[in-house]
Amino acid sequence: MSKIKAIVSSLENTVEILPSIVREIPKELRKRRPSPEKWSAHEHACHLAEVHPMFFKRLSLMLSENNPTIKPYFPDKDDEPDALINADLDEALERFANDRKNLIEKLKQLSAEEWSRTANHEEYAHYSVFIMFRHLSLHDYLHIYRIEELLLKKDWN
């Protein structure tokens, strides 16, 4: 059970880390892209808020069906090109915090058996509720790391 607690703790910590690091970036630089094809800090943060509904849906599906099929999500193909840059950052961060708190509450209620439930994911050799939320935790920190890189970018200061 300690692996599960570590994942839940990691997901909880993001609620504090994400807004604090985004707000360290001067407002005028938050939407600045390092290159046309790379996301700005604003886009990375808004993206993290946008994925929660998908994970709620996947969790519900995996708990209610045996071995359902999970479709991959590709933001560059599945979303409008400027949806994230045009999103309201404060609203996205608030939604992220609320959705994450709700998710944490749900995850803390899961039994060991529910954490082990599986699905067929079109991209991965195997997939379970545990893997899905470990993946979400790593996904959070990948985007937070990208925000950190933009925060510390020398040639922008």
CA dist., res. 136 & res. 56, Å (int): 12
Q: What is the pLDDT of residue 155?
A: 81
Task: Tell me, yes or no, if the pTM score tops 0.85.
Answer: yes
| 102 to 55, 106, 108, 153: CA distances (angstroms) | 12, 6, 10, 34
Q: Indicate the residue type of 52.
A: H
Q: Where are the domains of the chain?
A: 2-156
Q: What is the pLDDT of residue 156?
A: 67
Beta carbons within 8 Å of 142's beta carbon, 6+ residues apart: none
Q: What is the pLDDT of residue 157?
A: 54
- What's the CATH number for 2-156? 1.20.120.450
The pLDDT profile of the chain, 157 residues, written as one tens digit per residue, is 599 999 999 999 999 999 999 999 999 999 999 998 899 999 999 999 999 999 999 999 999 999 999 998 887 766 677 889 999 999 999 999 999 999 999 999 999 999 999 999 999 999 999 999 999 999 999 999 999 999 998 886 5
